[in-house]
């Protein structure tokens, strides 16, 4: 953190190693959120965020995050109240790849300070950027002591099954988080922590630059294939997902369209409704991932050419 963001962190009092970022988010919220609190969640969202808040007995309050426009800062401000305990921030966003600007992050920080709320940030894609740079909200004025930063090795090193995540938080929050973490999972696998430490210590800036460059090429290839097949999509600014609109291809709902695309075309997406609080908001959307080999993406692109020529799905 000191090298990347100029932020010195005490590993004894401020870092907790968890069983992946998913457990990290659950442990963090269970540690600082109480029943009757509110947790602000940007929408669309990684599907665990809302349920994690509900498991704490809190109420999730959803705020739209447009893919190709700035946040409505007035609407964001209206979502905060005296019950707001935390806001979950994921940049780059899953599933859209949207990157929050410094102006937007500053607005979030100001509201956290005003309402004495935590920013709980999912920064698992911190090294996968195609536009701009990663700005940890913890580095903004007055946010070091009210930010819980979640990350991990799974996306950076392509080891999603290893389940090693991290939480960086102020000492008082870390103390509570560690209690929850201990009762949830006891600890992350020690041999895999050692392996990841080697990567962190030996891989330099060239590795991270190459990672982003190679994913950018994969992003561009998939987006071209999707547009050629009739989808509408905004190229992601970060992460490795594309949220695509299939309205011009079919009038089927997202889950049925996903089954059709998998069975008839041989390309499998995730139904868009799983990323929204109200399923109808994602009924015309599906998410694709391009964290695949070049050969596999080329094969997917070849198969997608059949979408325009196949008989339209029932209901099209």
pLDDT of residue 131: 86
pLDDT 10s digits, 278-293: 999 999 999 999 999 9
pLDDT of residue 316: 46
The tally of domains found in the chain comes to: 2
C-alpha of 69 from chain center: 18
Mean pLDDT of 84-94: 98
C-alpha of 179 from chain center: 25
pLDDT of residue 4: 83
pLDDT at residue 311 greater than cutoff 70: no
pLDDT of residue 309: 75
Smallest CA-to-CA distance from 97 within 282, 288, 262 is with 288
Measured between alpha carbons, how far is 42 from 88 in angstroms, rounded to an integer?
Answer: 7
Domain final residue pick, 202, 237, 271 = 202
Measured between alpha carbons, how far is 72 from 34 in angstroms, rounded to an integer?
Answer: 28
**More confident site: 186 or 117:** 117
Q: CB of 282 within 8 A of CB of 220?
A: no
Q: CB of 76 within 8 A of CB of 105?
A: no
Q: Does 44 sit behind a cis peptide bond, omega within 30 degrees of 0 on the bond before it?
A: yes
What percentage of the chain exceeds 70 in pLDDT? Answer: 98
Dihedral over alpha carbons 210, 215, 216, 217 (to 10 degrees): 100
Residues 30 and 139 in one domain: yes
Domain final residue pick, 202, 226, 257 = 202
Residues 246 and 105 in one domain: no
Please check whether residue 315 lies inside any domain of the structure: no
pLDDT 10s digits, 259-276: 999 999 999 999 999 999
For the purposes of burial, counting CB atoms within 10 Å of the CB of 221, is it exposed (0-12), middle (13-18) or buried (19 or more)? middle
- Helix, strand, or coil here: 303? helix
pLDDT category at 232 given cuts 50, 70, 90 is very high
pLDDT at residue 314 greater than cutoff 80: no
Strands across the sheet with 118-122, in order? 15-18, 165-168, 147-152, 118-122, 84-90, 38-43, 59-64
Measured between alpha carbons, how far is 84 from 107 in angstroms, rounded to an integer?
Answer: 15
Distances (CA, A) of 34 to 23, 28, 37, 78, 260: 18, 12, 6, 21, 42
Domain final residue pick, 153, 171, 202 = 202
Residues 84 and 122 in one domain: yes
pLDDT category at 312 given cuts 50, 70, 90 is low
**More confident site: 309 or 26:** 26
Measured between alpha carbons, how far is 176 from 28 in angstroms, rounded to an integer?
Answer: 8
Q: CB of 239 within 8 A of CB of 92?
A: yes
Mean pLDDT of 68-97: 97
Residues 266 and 299 in one domain: yes
Measured between alpha carbons, how far is 284 from 291 in angstroms, rounded to an integer?
Answer: 23
Partnered with residue 60 across adjacent β-strands are 39
pLDDT 10s digits, 119-148: 999 999 999 999 888 999 999 999 999 999
pLDDT at residue 167 greater than cutoff 80: yes
Measured between alpha carbons, how far is 307 from 313 in angstroms, rounded to an integer?
Answer: 10
Please check whether residue 310 lies inside any domain of the structure: no
Residues 292 and 145 in one domain: no
pTM of this prediction? 0.93
Smallest CA-to-CA distance from 182 within 5, 11, 16, 304 is with 16
Residues 154 and 221 in one domain: no
The rounded mean pLDDT for the chain is: 95
Please check whether residue 311 lies inside any domain of the structure: no
What percentage of the chain exceeds 90 in pLDDT? Answer: 91
Measured between alpha carbons, how far is 101 from 121 in angstroms, rounded to an integer?
Answer: 14
Radius of gyration (Cα) for the chain, nearest Å?
A: 20
Mean pLDDT of 50-76: 96
- Residue 294 belongs to a domain with what CATH number? 3.90.1150.10
Mean pLDDT of 191-201: 94
Boundaries of domain holding 288: 206-304
């Amino acid at each position: 953190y000191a090298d990347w963001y100029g932020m010195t962190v005490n590993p004894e009092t401020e870092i907790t190693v968890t069983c992946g970022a998913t457990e990290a988010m659950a442990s963090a919220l269970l540690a600082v959120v109480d029943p009757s609190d509110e947790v602000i969640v940007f929408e669309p969202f990684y599907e665990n965020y809302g349920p994690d808040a509900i498991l704490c007995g809190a109420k999730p309050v959803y705020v739209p995050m447009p893919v190709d426009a700035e946040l409505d800062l007035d609407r964001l401000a209206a979502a905060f109240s005296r019950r707001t305990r935390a806001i979950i921030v994921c940049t780059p966003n899953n599933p859209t790849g949207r990157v929050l600007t410094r102006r937007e992050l500053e607005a979030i920080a100001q509201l956290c300070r005003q309402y004495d709320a935590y920013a709980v940030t999912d920064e698992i894609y911190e090294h996968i950027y195609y536009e701009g740079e990663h700005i940890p909200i913890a580095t903004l004025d007055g946010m070091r002591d009210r930010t819980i930063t979640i990350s991990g090795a799974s996306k950076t090193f392509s080891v999603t099954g290893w389940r090693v995540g991290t939480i960086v938080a102020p000492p008082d929050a870390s103390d509570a988080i560690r209690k929850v973490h201990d009762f949830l999972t006891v600890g992350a696998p020690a041999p895999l922590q050692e392996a990841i430490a080697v990567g962190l210590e030996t891989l330099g800036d060239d590795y991270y630059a190459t990672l982003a460059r190679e994913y950018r090429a994969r992003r561009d290839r998939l987006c071209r294939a999707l547009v050629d097949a009739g989808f509408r999509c905004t190229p992601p600014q970060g992460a490795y997902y594309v949220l695509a609109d299939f309205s011009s291809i079919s009038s089927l709902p997202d889950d049925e369209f996903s089954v059709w695309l998998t069975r008839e075309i041989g390309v499998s997406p995730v139904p868009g409704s799983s990323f929204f609080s109200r399923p109808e908001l994602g009924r015309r959307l599906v998410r694709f991932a391009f964290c695949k080999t070049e050969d596999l993406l080329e094969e997917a692109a070849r198969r997608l050419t059949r979408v325009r020529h196949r008989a339209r799905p029932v209901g099209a």
